[in-house]
């Protein structure tokens, strides 16, 4: 069932059930982060391996101190600058966080999302919400309630509909080594934004802000359709002997007899608009069950870097299937 009934959603969650929730990044599949029963249901509905830890969502910056043992200065600065928002931080966990939530790791991932419905829902609960993206394991993340419904209906009791996600890409995940930030996953918060707060003087060196993500599979975020990622769509079209190709481009409209549907992410070349539409475009093209999707690299700035990483993973699955 899809709706906006916060009282019903809260009652389900208090009863150890799972509920899909909107955030500014993507929809999450939420359950009581402190309850093994609820967290087990999240893993089961997603068919996610128990070795992949979950993000714990809070509605108050101070809740970090009830979940984490140590909060380095750089973490405090990042929280002040970017919460609520698309930043997840990884910190040593307190015992109240069950091992299943962190997949047995000594650290817990924490984020305060920026979505009015979900913040209100959290304020009705006396526990935080564990929530991975609300897609079956390995598939494209949902950015609309209808995406969740298509993928998980029948497996979860309720989807809280908060409209289309404003960012459209998952949060940026940052951990700390000796107090210095290390990026685990680049997402909706850009490298430039991070660097504006934890400047090079407070990072060990540039490579510290490189992406190093343990446990991430090469084919996350993948559609079922074969996908080729290119810098030159026209060349790829000329080379292909497929008909009925789906195209995903940044801004350019292309008409070509081999193309059955094209999605242009931002005709005005606005990278944030393109990010907002990226997963929706992939969902739409994938639903057509075409033989091939050709996608274009996004400009390598701001959120574009994280978008290209998602697209590379979608294309990597194609290569694995061909291998």
**121-140 binders of ligand TXA (CB under 6 A):** 131-133
Site membership for ligand TXA, residue 88 (CB under 6 A):
yes
Under 8 Å between Cβ of 63 and 78: no
265 three-class SS? coil
Count residues binding ligand TXA (CB under 6 A): 27
Residues that bind Mg ion (CB under 5 A): 133
- Interatomic CA distance for residues 298 and 304, integer angstroms: 6
Whichever of 246 and 279 has its CB closer to ligand TXA, that residue is 279
How big is the chain, counted in residues? 323
- Taking the alpha carbons at both ends of the chain, their separation in whole angstroms is 40
Site membership for ligand TXA, residue 74 (CB under 6 A):
no
Give min distance, CB of 3 to ligand TXA, in A: 19
- Interatomic CA distance for residues 283 and 296, integer angstroms: 16
Site membership for ligand TXA, residue 118 (CB under 6 A):
no
For the chain, what is the total number of helices (H) and then of strands (E)? 10, 14
Question: Minimal CB distance to Mg ion: which residue?
Answer: 133
Distance of CA 59 to the CA centre of its chain: 18
| 184 touches, from ligand TXA, Mg ion, none (C-beta below 5 to 8 Å by class) | ligand TXA
Site membership for ligand TXA, residue 161 (CB under 6 A):
no
Site membership for ligand TXA, residue 111 (CB under 6 A):
yes
Angle in degrees, CA 27, 33, 35, rounded to 5:
130
Site membership for ligand TXA, residue 102 (CB under 6 A):
yes
Whichever of 94 and 224 has its CB closer to Mg ion, that residue is 224
């Amino acid at each position: 069932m899809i709706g906006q009934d916060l009282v019903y959603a809260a009652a389900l969650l208090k009863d150890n059930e799972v509920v899909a929730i909107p955030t500014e990044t993507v929809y999450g599949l939420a359950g009581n982060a402190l309850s093994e029963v609820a967290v087990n249901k999240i893993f089961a509905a997603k068919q996610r391996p128990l070795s992949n830890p979950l993000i714990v969502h809070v509605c108050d910056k101070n809740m970090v101190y009830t979940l984490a043992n140590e909060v380095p200065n750089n973490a405090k600065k990042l929280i002040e600058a970017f919460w609520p928002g698309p930043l997840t931080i990884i910190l040593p966990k307190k015992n109240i966080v069950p091992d299943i939530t962190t997949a047995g790791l000594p650290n817990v991932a924490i984020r305060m999302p920026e979505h009015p419905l979900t913040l209100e829902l959290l304020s009705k609960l006396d526990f935080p919400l564990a929530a991975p993206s609300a897609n079956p394991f390995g598939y494209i993340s949902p950015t609309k309630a209808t995406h969740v419904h298509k993928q998980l209906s029948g497996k979860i009791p309720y989807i809280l509909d908060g409209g289309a996600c404003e960012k459209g890409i998952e949060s940026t995940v940052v951990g700390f080594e000796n107090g210095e930030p290390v990026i685990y996953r680049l997402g909706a918060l850009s490298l430039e934004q991070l660097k504006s707060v934890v400047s090079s003087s407070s990072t060990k060196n540039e490579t510290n802000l490189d992406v190093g993500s343990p446990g991430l599979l090469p084919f996350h975020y993948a559609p079922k359709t074969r996908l080729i990622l290119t810098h030159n769509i026209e060349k790829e079209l000329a080379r292909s002997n497929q008909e009925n190709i789906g195209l995903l481009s940044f801004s350019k409209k292309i008409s070509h007899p081999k193309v059955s549907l094209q999605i242009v992410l931002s005709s005005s070349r606005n990278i944030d608009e393109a990010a907002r539409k990226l997963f929706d475009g992939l969902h739409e093209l994938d639903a057509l069950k075409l033989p091939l999707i050709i996608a274009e690299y996004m400009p390598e700035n701001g959120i574009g870097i994280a978008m290209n990483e998602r697209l590379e993973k979608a294309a990597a699955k194609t290569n694995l299937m061909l291998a």
